[in-house]
Amino acid sequence: MTASETDDRLSAQFAFLNEADRLKSVLRATTLVDGSRRENSGEHSWHLALYAMTLADQADPAVKIDRVIRMLLLHDLVEIDVGDVPIHSKGGTAHGSTDTQEAEAKAADRIFGLLPPDLAAEFRALWDEFEAAETPDALFAKSLDRVQPVMANLMSGGGTWVEYEVTSEQLDQRVGSKIAKGAPRLWDWVRAKTRAWFEP
Amino acid sequence: MTASETDDRLSAQFAFLNEADRLKSVLRATTLVDGSRRENSGEHSWHLALYAMTLADQADPAVKIDRVIRMLLLHDLVEIDVGDVPIHSKGGTAHGSTDTQEAEAKAADRIFGLLPPDLAAEFRALWDEFEAAETPDALFAKSLDRVQPVMANLMSGGGTWVEYEVTSEQLDQRVGSKIAKGAPRLWDWVRAKTRAWFEP
Ligand SMILES: [Ca+2]
């Protein structure tokens, strides 16, 4: 690679990294564990990657944790354009809507498109895999993405469950079933704690 | 592992993950790229892990990027107890002081000590390796930790360089020399931009 090609490549790499900074300003419905403020999607992504490192033994043996970590680092970048869609909003229906999915795919085109083509393709493939939620790596990543806000709600006194008047059955349906797919023992353990919160 | 052993292990894993949440409330001297507020160490750690994924081709071929990512996810956790020590504070001397290093080691004992012993040892070893800054992985991780605030300052109109009255020579000394150790071409490229900022 010539010096000028390296320069162009670095310009594209930093165009992406500087744009990614905006994820720190996207606010989620969930608060921090101490309830002091709403969490942003940048720090959420960090926490999830740390979840993957820490809870690796809860994954199926086929799961490659380093791929899960990379997936989780990228998974929310589309929210820079689309914002966070809270899982319990609109009676739990907004999250997987066709409108949301189309807007997110357009955002992925734009944001990963800032990168040099090889990296754009690599990152986009990881994001597509996460969204499709079919491979063992993606299923485990999805489980962690679902379990972290449950823990934040438990720690902070109910959080979005109170805000959106969520029932224990709705939590099982919208969240628990997805955690159980990628990390069944983890959901058993967490579910016992949510039961105690919903039926004290 | 019996069901009760798994329960105890998960309790320890979540004691660590819930404690880690506090890193989102540790503020750094550097602001976001848009200058809107100071960055916290949780979102900073996410951004650095994304730097590692994106700038992997700037690393020495011996570097294992997935280890670098793990190192960067953990590298600032000690700040939960110690706070962030800005690189340009106290004339650039506070950062590596013996007092700071002792306090950080104590914080590492406490925070990694929340984990089950096997994970505590694994995470602590990665943090020790980062701090020692000797292996290729640690040197590259350190380079990224130094280059990200330089980019934030460039994007936001000077940031901590203005606040701490930093000169171009001090930047070379305190920051550039360390970036160059792990990512020499990267520093060449960034340095040209910092020169243009300091000598417009
Ligand atoms: Ca740092």
Which of B140, B110, B133 has the alpha carbon at shortest distance from B123?
B110
| Residue that has been written with the tokens 């590492």 in this structure | B108
What is the H or E stretch that residue B82 is in? helix B79-82
Quick: pLDDT tens for A37-80.
999 999 999 999 999 999 999 999 999 999 999 999 999 999 99
pLDDT at B54: 98
With contact defined as beta carbons under 8 Å apart, do A154 and A160 qualify?
Answer: no
Identify the band that residue A97 occupies on the pLDDT scale cut at 50, 70 and 90: confident
Residues of chain B positioned with their CB less than 8 A from the CB of A123: 53
Smallest CA–CA distance, residue B73 to chain A, in Å, is 7
Tell me the C-alpha distance between A39 and A62, whole Å. 31
Tell me the C-alpha distance between B36 and B28, whole Å. 13
Nearest to B151 among A18, A42, A185 (CB): A18
Question: Residue A92 pLDDT > 80, yes or no?
Answer: no
Identify the band that residue B87 occupies on the pLDDT scale cut at 50, 70 and 90: confident
Quick: pLDDT tens for B93-116.
777 788 899 999 999 999 999 999
Smallest CA–CA distance, residue A174 to chain B, in Å, is 22
SS3 call for B130: helix
Q: Separation of B77 CA from ligand 1 center, angstroms?
A: 9
Q: CA–CA distance from B155 to each of A110, A170, B36 (Å)?
A: 20, 44, 12
Residue to test with chain A: of B8, B14, B114, most A Cβ within 10 A: B14
Domains and CATH numbers, chain A: 3-198 (1.10.3210.10)
Q: Do A33 and B47 touch (CB under 8 A)?
A: no
Q: Do A189 and B25 touch (CB under 8 A)?
A: no
With contact defined as beta carbons under 8 Å apart, do A47 and B42 qualify?
Answer: yes
CA-nearest residue to A120 within chain B is B54
DSSP A8-74: HHHHHHHHHHHHHGGGGGPEEEEEPTTSSSEEEHHHHHHHHHHHHHHSGGGS-TT--HHHHHHHHHH
CA-nearest residue to B55 within chain A is A13
Structure tokens at B80: 């939960």
